[in-house]
Structure 1
């Protein structure tokens, strides 16, 4: 799909930004470029759509040398998303989404249909099409920026720190949303970031650069298990949980399989009895098909006890959940960031599969540091 052949970029002042880069990226692959400031990652990405010209070597897209293509047509054939979003403030959301389609002289019917189709991908209501960028939140604007990049159905999308300016929770949500979209649509993504957690979460392949050269390019798990050198180790950060336990990588490997639940239609009085009998202060609420509907806890019961009789009327339906395939390192960060006591684990159709609690994570950390406890016992014995 995309290949760099001995690509170098040298500026007129003699600065070499990229040195003899050789790299192959397959169709449908999500590749994150990361490294310290000035390492050449953004320059590398911008050479792909000729925003920056190559000094030596060749970049091939589907075996065609980009230098032999018209630069404007080349850019229109690729999606491009940047941190600043770049929505046109005087245009409606619909007009922003189909901007490239307008440049390509699409008929109005085609533009309207494509805008509606894309908005559904990110679960935004159709009435947003007639709004203007200033009427949307930062996260919603960034969603529109992503949709605009998808509008002409490009096989290749370039993304330059697109989520960097967002708050952590919105950023988490958008990362998950976009990764899911990428898998569904089978797009090839070149993604530049300075955030190692983001790269490890999103990428099929992580390309770590330093001083214009690739230091290591491999899957996230392989890089974490076998960093190429001390620079990669330091750049990853020695505190990453996965480095201590390379055998434990996903939520499904550590989740508890039988969380305490109550079905919809349960009375608050019965829910309180269940909490007392099971020694918990929170319950997950599921329907008759075991689809997660929400949760109820002591605080919600206290707030609603006089005005509600059923858990359906008192439960919180906005529940943060993860899939069994979610990377453990991401879930740890999210639990800590949200201050959550636990996270439900669901499948693709939101059926409840299990739960990950802070206690589970604490046990994993203890195992990582002290193994099965024997090492600690030995040290105590030695001290005595």
Structure 2
């Protein structure tokens, strides 16, 4: 998909901002560039769509040298998302999403259909199409920025710290959505970040740069297990829990496979009896096909018991969940950032298969840090 051959960028009278880059990115890969400020990661990204042109070497997009392509046509073939989002305030959401398809002269109906389809991918209804950016939250605006980059179905998307200005919870949610979108649509994404947690969560492979050069280019697990040198060790953080217990990879390995559940038609009095019997303060709500619909807890029941009689009337449907195969390291970060007690685990069809609790994670952390050596704790 994308190849760098001995690429350098030299500014007049300055040192090399990027020096002799050689790397290859495969179709459908999520590649993160990371490194300290001034390492050359953003310069590298901007050379891909010729916002900055390389001084030496060649960059190939699908085996074609980008310097032999018309720069305007090149940029229309590449999606681009920046931290400032760049939505046009005088345009509706539909018009913002359809910007590139309109430049490519897509039929109007095709533009409208594409915008509506993309909104549904991030759980936003078609009602948003006729709103303006000022009517949306920061997280919603960032979603639209991502969708605009996907609108013309470009195979390659560039993202320059797109979530850097968002609060931690919104950022975590958008990271999860973006990874799902990328896998579903099989896009190749080049993503610049300064956040190692973000790179580890999103990337298939990570490019760690320093002083304009690549220090290590590998999968997150390879980097965590075998950092190339002391700089990489210091940069990723020696304390990261994911470096230990390499045999524990996904939530499937640590989840409780029998969470306490209830169906929507159950009376609240029965739900309370079940909580008491199982000694829990909340229940996951599933339908007849075991699809997760939400949760209820004692406080919710107490607040609405005078006006509701069944679970369906009080269920909270906004619940964070992870799919089977999700890395434990990502779930640890999510639980810690959001202060959650647990996270349900579902299969690809949304059926509940288990639950990961803080206790599960404490066991992993305990074994990671102390192993079988309890003498140090006693002392």
TM-score, length of structure 1 as denominator length:
0.95
RMSD: 1.5
Structure 1 segment 149-160 matched on structure 2, within 5 A? 149-160=149-160
Q: Secondary structure at the match of 2:344?
A: strand
Structure 1 segment 14-29 matched on structure 2, within 5 A? 14-29=14-29
In structure 1, what is the Cα distance between the partners aligned to 2:355 and 2:339? Answer: 16
In structure 2, what is the Cα distance between the partners aligned to 1:173 and 1:113? Answer: 25
More deviation, 96-105/14-23 = 96-105
Q: Where does structure 2 lack aligned partners over 5 or more consecutive residues? A: none
1:378 CA displacement: 8.2
Structure 1 segment 85-104 matched on structure 2, within 5 A? 85-104=85-104
Structure 1 segment 1-384 matched on structure 2, within 5 A? 1-372=1-372, 375-377=373-375
Distance 1:277 1:87, change over 3 A: same
Q: Where does structure 1 lack aligned partners over 5 or more consecutive residues? A: none
1:117 CA displacement: 2.6
Q: Secondary structure at the match of 1:74?
A: helix
More deviation, 32-41/175-184 = 175-184
In structure 1, what is the Cα distance between the partners aligned to 2:366 and 2:96? Answer: 51
Distance 1:77 1:270, change over 3 A: same
Deviations 1:274-321 (A, max 9, x none): 122212222112222111122222211211222222222122221111
Distance 1:379 1:270, change over 3 A: closer
In structure 2, what is the Cα distance between the partners aligned to 1:18 and 1:127? Answer: 45
Q: Secondary structure at the match of 1:296?
A: strand
Q: Is the 1:240–1:329 contact (alpha carbons within 8 Å) kept by the matching residues of 2?
A: no
Q: Secondary structure at the match of 2:374?
A: helix
1:253 CA displacement: 1.1
In structure 2, what is the Cα distance between the partners aligned to 1:101 and 1:364? Answer: 48
Distance 1:110 1:276, change over 3 A: closer
Distance 1:379 1:294, change over 3 A: closer
In structure 2, what is the Cα distance between the partners aligned to 1:105 and 1:379? Answer: 68
In structure 2, what is the Cα distance between the partners aligned to 1:267 and 1:16? Answer: 69
1:244 CA displacement: 1.9
Q: Is the 2:252–2:325 contact (alpha carbons within 8 Å) kept by the matching residues of 1?
A: yes
Q: Secondary structure at the match of 1:123?
A: coil
How many residue pairs get aligned? The number is 379
